[in-house]
Structure 1
Amino acid sequence: MAEVVLKKVEKVYPNGFKAVHGIDLHIKDGEFMVFVGPSGCAKSTTLRMVAGLEEITGGEIWIGDKCVNELPPKDRGIAMVFQNYALYPHMTVYDNMAFGLKLQKTPKDEIDRRVRDAAEKLEITDLLDRKPKEMSGGQRQRVAVGRAIVRDPDVFLFDEPLSNLDAKLRVSMRVRISQLHQQLKKEGKNPTTIYVTHDQVEAMTMGDRICVLNYGKIMQVDTPINLYAKPANKFVAGFIGAPAMNIHEAELIMDKDKIAVKVAGLVLHLPEAKAQKVKRYVGKKVWFGIRPEHIKSSETNPNKEEYVTGKITVVEQLGNEEFVYFHVSGTEYISRLDPMKVQGVAREKKYDFWFDLDKCHLFDFESEENISL
């Protein structure tokens, strides 16, 4: 396998639109890297440039020790799995998986060994004689993955491979792909994988690291837990996490000799450690962010002095948790509560919450960079 390095990679279309803005990225040998971001952020365009399906207009792409800018896709040592499966409808599963190897004039016994080995890994051995129209979407996607595996590439590329599947199948397939990656590692193949998705749950559960993109720029590259707990900027904070982080315009002020956040009628005093990090912003506008699970019921922490009373507008009950939407001075917040630990949460009621300000985030109002890390 091989590392993938992007150096100042750009994509400018003939009409002058700049889709990718000088991306620098180092994907380590054997790493599972996920590209995630909203529609139009250039994640698929970047993947297609790595594959050689999209011409780059600036910078360099390296796979292993080769600069592949001028190499056609077939010579880059990559295998790609597409969103729409891209199977040959007139061929059996076996022939679909074997087709690329036949073009490479691989010996028949080696083709058979690779196809049956991949089919066993993906639990599709009993489908080898079927044609694509005789299978479900999930089965077809497994075949598409198997076709990539048999080529034994340096790099696997996945372009939103699960977006056409229903919710239950997406879960089972993302688990299968993650298991496959680990299994290949144990066999010493150390697969380098780039996986594109718009689904942050896929990104958080599958990636060794995640590259968050927006408008053709990298917002942050980090492990899933660091992206969630230590977002580098307001965009990452708002994009990663479901429900999304509560983010509102605020001002840092001095109140009772303490640094506090003044946000939509509330004055929230910051813990000393957090206050010291942002004291240079006192008197300035900032963005205040706090995740739903860090807005808690006052019942769960009776030692807290500062309660926030809000009027509940919606309660979404999910069994093991509930999302509570409430208003304070006309501003909406979302809280994630444990229904087993709280009482009396109901629509149109007033309820006392407390904000765990040790876990809040503050962002520069102009640059939107996180100033509280």
Structure 2
Amino acid sequence: MANVVIKGIEKVYPNGFKAVHGIDLEVKDGEFMVLVGPSGCAKSTTLRMVAGLEEITNGTISIGDKVVNNIPPKDRGIAMVFQNYALYPHMTVYENMAFSLKLKKLPKDEIDKKVREAAKILDLEEVLKRRPKELSGGQRQRVAVGRAIVRDPEVFLFDEPLSNLDAKLRVHMRVQLSQLHKKLKSTMIYVTHDQVEAMTMGDRICVMNFGKIMQVDTPLNLYHYPKNKFTAGFIGSPAMNIVEGELIEKEESIAVKIGGEILILPETKGSKVKNHIGKKVWFGIRPEHINLKDLGNASKISGNIDVIEHMGNESFVYFSNEELQLTAKIDSMESRNLKTGKSEDFILHLENCHIFDYESEENISL
């Protein structure tokens, strides 16, 4: 096992396009780090630079105590699992998993031991004689992971390995990969565009956008304490409500004006944003902090219900008035009497809101 240290990494292509903008990141020994962000944010490019599959324009990458910039992929102590699994179709599962060990000219009994140990961990013992075309998508994915395990790498790299699976199987494989990490105690770097995957699997998450790191933290810290508007809007499903607003003074308190509504902020929030009175801001609040329960010290907004999505134990209610469109997360029992097209009073619990600077988009309410 080993840590991975990325310092000032840049990637500039021959046409001048700069994909990665001098990022710094440390992945701790034995940590499960997830790189997450929208398509085109350079998360896969960053992973491929760690693997040695992309050249580094500037900066350094260290694995353990060794700078690996000029070391070929096979000598970096890494194993990579790709999105399309990259299995050899003419080989059996056993042969696919043993292939890299044969290239190293390991003794046959040692190869057999490693393959069968990996097969046992991944529940592949019954399919070792089959070829990839005879396997389900989940089994192929596990073979690809098994091929990485047998190499006993210092670092595992995963590039969106679950994206080709159906929704139910993805959930199952997320659990299996998390359990595998706990069992192997290996350093893992995992790339995904799916923030639900990131939240459920990562010890820490690195949120990326346009080749830059927006925030690195634990899943819960990212969710509750986003440092900027991008992280706030990207992490969470359904997404945080974020609208333009203005900070004003109202009845000796600090309030935010959104649309035609004036919301008086709790003193704990107001004291942190008082230097921005009179300025435009971004106002954010998560759907679960908008509901029908008035517990005191809450603000009320009326709106027409546009759509109700019943999700089982909860419902997502999309409502709007002349100037605002917001989403609320309501307990399903409470949402039974709500009807689309009808007006309803919704309660905003502002102790949980976030205020972002309009220009820098940094969170000024933490």
Task: Name the TM tier (shorter chain).
Answer: over 0.9
Query: 2:232 pairs with 237, 240, 254, which one?
Result: 237
The one-letter amino acid of 1:282's match is: I
Distance 2:353 2:295 in 1: 20
Match of 1:188 in 2: none
User: SS of 1:287's equivalent?
Assistant: strand
Distance 1:77 1:244 in 2: 38
Match of 1:163 in 2: 163
Number of positions where the alignment pairs a residue of Structure 1 with one of Structure 2: 366
Distance 1:184 1:175 in 2: 14
Residues 246 and 333 of structure 1 are in contact (CA less than 8 Å); yes or no, is this contact kept in structure 2? Answer: yes
Deviation at residue 183 of structure 1 after TM alignment? 1.1
> 1:150-229 counterparts in 2 under 5 A?
150-185=150-185, 191-229=186-224
Distance 1:307 1:196 in 2: 40
The one-letter amino acid of 1:218's match is: I
The one-letter amino acid of 2:40's match is: G
C-alpha offsets along residues 249-281 of structure 1, whole Å, 9 cap, x if unaligned? 100000111100000011000000110000000
Match of 1:9 in 2: 9
The answer to whether structure 1 residue 148 and structure 2 residue 144 are counterparts is: no
Deviation at residue 329 of structure 1 after TM alignment? 2.6
User: SS of 2:170's equivalent?
Assistant: helix
Match of 2:310 in 1: 317
Unmatched tracts of structure 1, length 5 or more:
186-190
Query: 1:250 pairs with 245, 254, 279, which one?
Result: 245
The one-letter amino acid of 1:279's match is: K
Superposed structure 1 runs of 4+ greater than 6 Å apart? none
Distance 1:152 1:343 in 2: 54
Distance 1:213 1:34 in 2: 10
Distance 1:102 1:5 in 2: 31
Match of 1:51 in 2: 51
Deviation at residue 343 of structure 1 after TM alignment? 5.2
Distance 2:197 2:28 in 1: 20
Residues 315 and 335 of structure 2 are in contact (CA less than 8 Å); yes or no, is this contact kept in structure 1? Answer: no
Q: Structure 1 residues 306, 210: closer, same or farther in 2, change over 3 A?
A: closer
User: SS of 1:307's equivalent?
Assistant: strand
The one-letter amino acid of 2:206's match is: C
User: SS of 2:334's equivalent?
Assistant: coil
Query: 1:369 pairs with 339, 351, 362, which one?
Result: 362
Q: Structure 1 residues 58, 306: closer, same or farther in 2, change over 3 A?
A: closer
Deviation at residue 341 of structure 1 after TM alignment? 3.5
Query: 1:332 pairs with 308, 325, 337, which one?
Result: 325
Deviation at residue 242 of structure 1 after TM alignment? 0.7
Match of 2:338 in 1: 345
Deviation at residue 331 of structure 1 after TM alignment? 1.4
User: SS of 2:101's equivalent?
Assistant: helix
> 1:274-289 counterparts in 2 under 5 A?
274-289=269-284
**Normalised by the size of structure 2, how large is the TM-score?**
0.99
C-alpha offsets along residues 171-221 of structure 1, whole Å, 9 cap, x if unaligned? 111110000111112xxxxx0000000011110000000000000000000
Unmatched tracts of structure 2, length 5 or more:
none
Distance 1:234 1:257 in 2: 28
C-alpha offsets along residues 207-252 of structure 1, whole Å, 9 cap, x if unaligned? 0000000000000000000000000100000001111100001000
The one-letter amino acid of 2:212's match is: K
Deviation at residue 304 of structure 1 after TM alignment? 4.8
User: SS of 1:301's equivalent?
Assistant: coil
User: SS of 1:117's equivalent?
Assistant: helix
Please tell me the root mean square deviation across aligned C-alpha atoms, in Å. Answer: 0.9
Residues 304 and 354 of structure 1 are in contact (CA less than 8 Å); yes or no, is this contact kept in structure 2? Answer: no
The one-letter amino acid of 1:220's match is: Q
**Normalised by the size of structure 1, how large is the TM-score?**
0.97
Deviation at residue 306 of structure 1 after TM alignment? 3.4
C-alpha offsets along residues 72-96 of structure 1, whole Å, 9 cap, x if unaligned? 0000000000000100111000010
